[in-house]
A and B are shown apart, each in its own frame.
Chain A
Amino acid sequence: MARAATILELERAIERLGARPAAPGPVASTGVPALDALLPGGGLPRGRVVEWIGPRSSGKTALLRAGLARLRGVGESVAWIDAGRTLYAPDWADLVPGEGEFWVVRPRDDVEMAWCADLLLRSGAFGAVALHGPGGGAEVLRRSATVRLQRLAEEAGALFVVLGEVRLAALRLGFRPGRVEPVRGVPFGPFLPPSRPVWVRVGKRGSAEIPILCPVPVRRRPPATRDRKGPE
């Protein structure tokens, strides 16, 4: 009886497998419901180049880290190409439970960076590859390289996120930090609430404000009064 039930269950699973829609379609959740709600399909598209841009402290690394941590949580391998070598190890240690499958690859220049991305995507072994250029800024990849990597990501069904400007991206997420408004008449304290807003714009679909936990409490202070003594 139990065997018959098991066989029936397997047959249904095989039917579901056959009925799975072909790519493109699968998405990866960012782990942040407010952001998922903005994204087409409810998550980041696999097999596409995703542009992930914003100035310093816009919260882009924190949000991408949250998404990659979620993928790690469901057993996917994740690689981060850190050409700028600015990742801070204590913030990323929890993505490696034991001997983990979160790997940081550290190329020395743009050429090696593109080569690493090519290899990682071509292998088909990674559920997500994040690429952070040396400057983390403008034009991380050349147009021809983007086309090539787009094709490899599609073949691998992998999420490929580029931190910085990249042409021909299928999806663009722009981040900007919310303002920390000083409170008049409150000199040096009390502490700010431990979160601050980050604005996210997804293509032309709209934007959302997502609270980002502040790394440490930041004291409020009154607006600066201009005092041109000059720097030290």
Chain B
Amino acid sequence: MSRPFPARVASVRFTTDGAMDGAAGAARAAAILLAASPRVAAAGAGLCRADARGWERRGGEAALARALRASASSAGLAVTGVGIADVPVAADAAALLAAERGGGPVIVPPGSAARFLAPFPLAALPLPAHLRETLRALGLRHAGELAARPREELEARFGPDGLRAHRLARGEDDRPFRALCPDAPPAAELDLDPPADSLEPLLFVLRHLLARVCADLADLGRGAVRLDLEMALEDGTRRTAALVPARPTRRDGLLHDLGRAALERAGDGTGRLAAPVAGLAVRVVGVAALEARQGDLFRAEWRDPMAAAGVLSRIRARLGEEAVVWPAPRSDPRPESRNAWRPVEMGSGAWPEVAPPPSAAEDAGAREVPGALHLLPEPEPVRVRTEAGRPRELWDGSGCREVAAVEGPERLSGDWWKDPWRREYFRLCTTGGELLWAFREVRRDGALRWWLHGWWD
């Protein structure tokens, strides 16, 4: 699941004095070079690499080298050499050569990395010190000599290190490119070998992936609106689940809870996975500025809105999108259509304005309270005895109720072009004080049927 290195890469060597010393200095230098290339990665002390693609119409790779030097010099970064090649190992060697020559950049033509590397000493290859010494003791001095040896021989003698050295000498470099790119959403991924067939190792990996992603979000000064959690299954297929926090966030604990719920949905409910997972990736697919609302030290009732967002996200992750809703009534004649609820749109909008507390005078005026309707999810069939077309008694599962007062009918109909319906609604007040909402359905064949649709409470 590694991200391949770009097809053309530029290596920049610079002096490591003062603020540019060490890994931190390399990261600082990489940030400076972003002015010339959109993807830059720190590659250790005194070395950065940049994506060199896309300069064909902007003056060629020589123009990129000039741009890198210009951006570095404007920020006080002393560049000693720039090299451009197909792979990092060749570009690094080219930059070394450019630094020794003290002139312009060294550009290795596409497809000739191995030929370019052949005369370089083994010290130009990023090999473990002990391996380099051993190879030298065996009489191998240059990269070309190492590349000429049979691959199987090196693998048998030195294992994976020998194989990797052989590949580097042949100009084959598949090291991942960890670009520093402020506009690209953060991502992190990990291959699992052997594949995981239970939830526990995945949760462990997920925690670290999210910690990495949240650290990157902190660097950006942003929060994640949405993340994709991608599982690469052993059979080659991929599954993706969306992690959507209630508000933009970079709290890794909250995101871990959402990820856990997503992984549990992918399992069989007993902690086992439906298929072994060979890789896990977390990608931020939407970022936004973190929202904040000013608290009030002197108001005890003030509560952290991010805590509310976190817990609602957890509920939504486990129970589904429809589990946390806001009322969104629609203008529709059919009551069940009017009774619409919409899933909370996570990460949208500003915090609502808070109205001032009502005054004592306003409170004193609140002597009447409007009733609240309860609408049954599905109307319940009832039997009704009528007099002159008006309900007098109503029977349902709980027995008979006498109607003391009735208002109606309110005739509603619609959908004549596809599924016509006609209802006559009555508001019934029973002698026990219940306020019921019932309707009489008039069928196509003229038959009548009574339903209880709700009650006021």
Residues of A at the B interface (CB closer than 8 Å) are: 13, 16-17, 20, 26, 29, 31-34, 55-63, 65-66, 70, 73-77, 84-93, 95-108, 112, 116, 119-120, 122-127, 157, 176-180, 182, 192, 195, 210-221, 223-224, 227, 229-232
- Chain B residues with CB under 8 Å of A34's CB are 367
Are A214 and B353 neighbours in the complex by a CB distance under 8 Å?
Answer: no
Indicate whether B156 reaches chain A with its CB closer than 8 angstroms: no
Q: Is B405 a contact of A87 with CB atoms below 8 Å?
A: no
Q: Find chain A residues with CB under 8 A from B369 CB.
A: 32, 59, 62-63, 65-66, 210-213
CB distance from B47 to the nearest CB of A (A): 47
| A119 to B345 CA separation, bound complex (whole angstroms) | 20
- Knowing A26-B300, A31-B366, A219-B407, say if A90 contacts B339 (CB, 8 Å): yes
Whether the pair A70, B358 counts as a contact (CB closer than 8 A) is yes
Judge if B76 is at the interface, Cβ distance under 8 Å.
no
Q: Are B357 and A74 in contact (CB under 8 A)?
A: yes
A77, A88, A99, A105: the one contacting B315 at CB < 8 Å is A105
Q: Are B329 and A89 in contact (CB under 8 A)?
A: yes
Task: Give Cα A92–Cα B326 distance, bound, in whole angstroms.
Answer: 9
Besides A57-B456, A101-B352, 18 other CB < 8 A contacts? A16-B298, A17-B298, A62-B456, A74-B301, A74-B356, A88-B373, A90-B339, A95-B327, A99-B345, A100-B352, A105-B323, A126-B303, A192-B405, A211-B367, A215-B435, A220-B405, A224-B392, A232-B450
Q: How far is the CB of A106 from chain B (nearest CB, A)?
A: 5
User: Which residue in chain A gives the minimum CB-CB distance to B357?
Assistant: A74
Smallest beta-carbon distance B93→chain A, Å: 56
Q: Are A96 and B405 in contact (CB under 8 A)?
A: no
- Minimal beta-carbon separation of A113 from chain B (angstroms): 11
- Bound-state CA distance A137–B269 (Å) is 32
Q: Does B158 contact A (CB under 8 A)?
A: no
Closest to B316 in A: A105
Pull 25 A–B residue pairs with CB atoms less than 8 Å apart, ordered by A.
A32-B367, A57-B435, A61-B457, A62-B456, A75-B355, A77-B303, A86-B377, A93-B329, A97-B355, A106-B322, A106-B341, A116-B315, A124-B307, A125-B310, A176-B433, A177-B434, A177-B435, A178-B433, A179-B431, A211-B367, A211-B369, A212-B368, A214-B435, A219-B407, A224-B393
Binds A, one of B50-58, B176-184, B380-388: B380-388
Q: Given contacts A96-B326, A125-B307, is CB(A104)–CB(B407) below 8 Å?
A: no
CB neighbors of A among B292-328 (8 A): 297-298, 300-305, 307-308, 310-312, 314-315, 319, 322-328
Number of A-B contacts (CB under 8 A): 259
**Separation of A113 and B367 alpha carbons in the complex (Å):** 33
Shortest CB-to-CB span from A114 to chain B, Å, is: 13
- Bound complex: CA A232 to CA B424 (Å): 15
Asked if A227 and B368 sit within 8 Å, CB to CB, the answer is: no
Are A90 and B327 in touch, CB under 8 angstroms?
Answer: yes
User: Is B340 at the interface (CB under 8 A from chain A)?
Assistant: yes
Given contacts A104-B341, A127-B301, contact A212 B405 (CB under 8 A): no
Q: Flag if B341 contacts A215 (CB, 8 Å).
A: no
Q: Is the CB of B371 within 8 A of A214?
A: yes
Question: Would A232 and B312 count as touching, CB distance under 8 A?
Answer: no
Q: Which residues of A contact B402 (CB under 8 A)?
A: 224
Does B448 count as interface, using CB distance less than 8 angstroms? yes
- B404 CB–A CB distance under 8 Å: yes
The number of chain B residues touching the other chain, given as a range, is: 35 or more
Any A CB within 8 A of the CB of B100 = no
Contacts A93-B328, A216-B407 given: A123-B311 contact, CB under 8 Å?
A: yes
Chain B contacts with A in 413-457, Cβ cutoff 8 A: 427, 429, 431-436, 448, 450, 454-457
A61: B residues at CB distance < 8 A: 371-372, 374, 457
**What is the minimal beta-carbon distance from A78 to any residue of chain B, in angstroms?**
10
A91 to B344, CA, bound (A): 18
Q: Sorted from nearest, which 9 A-B pairs have the closest CB atoms?
A: A177-B433, A75-B354, A125-B308, A99-B349, A231-B383, A125-B307, A89-B327, A123-B311, A61-B457
Nearest Cβ distance between residue A93 and chain B, in whole angstroms?
A: 4
Contacts of A214 in B (CB 8 A): 371, 435, 456
B384 → A minimal CB distance (Å):
6
Verify if B363 is at the interface (C-beta below 8 Å from A): yes
The answer to whether B385 touches A230 (Cβ under 8 A) is yes
CB distance from A54 to the nearest CB of B (A): 8
Whole-angstrom distance between the alpha carbons of A178 and B377 in the complex?
27
- What is the CA–CA distance of A123 and B253 in the complex, to the nearest angstrom? 14
A56 contact from B341, B407, B427, B455, Cβ within 8 A: B455
In contact, B407 and A66 (Cβ under 8 angstroms): no
Our pick among B351, B355, B366 for the contact of A66 (Cβ within 8 Å) is B366
B297 contacts across to A, CB distance below 8 A = 13, 17
In the complex, the answer to whether A86 meets B376 with C-beta atoms within 8 Å is yes
Complex interface: chain B residues within 8 A of A32 (CB): 366-367, 369
Would you call A97 and B353 a contact (CB within 8 A)?
Answer: yes
